Amino acid sequence: MAKTKKQGAKKKNASKKRPTTAKPVVVRSSLPVMAFSMQTCGVSNPFCPQANGARWPDNSYTKSLTFDVCGEKSTFTTSATGTGGFLFLPSYTGFVGAGSYLAPNFTYSTLSALSSYPTMGRWRLTSWGIKLQAPTSKLNTAGTLTIRLFSPSAGSSITSINAGTTMADSMMTIPLSRLCDEDLFVIPMPLGDDAREWRNTDTITQVNTFVNPGWQVIEVNTTDATASTVALNCYSYMHFEFVPYDGDVLYSYADAPPKNNLMVREGNASVLERIGNFVEGGAAKVDKLFQSKALKYFAAAAGAAFGGPKGAQMGYNISNQAQLSLMDG
């Protein structure tokens, strides 16, 4: 006679727990992510509010102050033949040189300062750039705009620039009328660690005596534009960190150096590499573009740090929630 199981008998191994699967890592708040993004944008994007007062986080062991130039305007007037040129140099006084044209070259010699600046014993740039706008109506705007970026060690190599040369770090040629509808933001790149060295104050007045502090320079010119008119408005944004002269009263306001932050420094390099020298649109678009690139870098770094499925899930969550935050903002 076959044995039958008693009703209500306990099953074997019933007390054993079922295997559990690892729960995906969920970032509950995007605040730390956005904080990292803001820090990175502050040293990368010269047009964002976070750039004001930003200092390079390399723990330079010296107290410093900041000084910001936010949209200093330079008007761009064409000659009787519809040409004009400007040379923007990274200097502690934000030098600008107006060029004269004798085909095929634009020639630059005398420099003028953008504004009155505080006394700086030593200085360096955190970030800088220019915004370009066409002030005339689209129907009344003619000609071609060319922007070039160079990385000379000295100004002697850029006193004369061929209007048609493509021999530059970066170059963009567009109809001038395109700037009637949207702005063009030009972002020079730092030339490695050279851009983060402290520089002594100089008193140059000529392009040929300029010594590069470690940044690309910008040359802007027009050809075939409307003659003898303001064809372009150029707005300069420059963010300085500086050390006052020894014994200067400004030392009373100097702050301790920012903490060394390798993540922000590497994020800066990654963001600039992905964005490049030119962005067209409005300031809000530029700001969100920088934030987006910074957030993607942070997500990738988090994924690489944890590795495997956990790292991949963390990177996905950070990127996804950060993108939603940018859309909401």
Q: Where are the domains of the chain?
A: 28-55+283-329, 60-257
Q: Are 235 and 203 in contact (CB under 8 A)?
A: no
* Burial degree of 61 (CB within 10 A; 0-12, 13-18, 19+): exposed
Place of tokens 């008193």: 203
CA dihedral 189, 193, 197, 203 (to 10 degrees): -40
pLDDT score for 5 = 54
Encode the chain (329 residues) as per-residue pLDDT tens digits. Answer: 555 555 555 555 555 555 555 554 444 444 566 677 788 899 999 999 999 999 999 988 899 999 999 999 998 899 999 999 999 999 887 788 888 999 999 999 998 888 788 889 999 999 999 999 999 999 889 999 999 999 999 999 999 999 989 999 999 999 999 999 899 999 999 999 999 999 998 778 899 999 999 999 999 999 999 999 999 999 999 999 999 999 999 999 999 988 898 888 988 998 999 999 999 988 888 888 888 888 777 666 655 554 545 544 455 455 555 554 444 44
pLDDT score for 284 = 83
pLDDT score for 283 = 81
pTM of the predicted model as reported, rounded to 2 decimal places? 0.82
* CA angle (202 as vertex; 199, 203 as ends), nearest 5: 165
Phi, psi of 150 (to 5 degrees): -120, 165
Architecture of domain 60-257: Sandwich (2.60)
pLDDT score for 309 = 52
How do strand 84-88 and strand 217-223 relate by DSSP bridges? antiparallel
Q: How many residues does the chain have?
A: 329
pLDDT score for 16 = 56
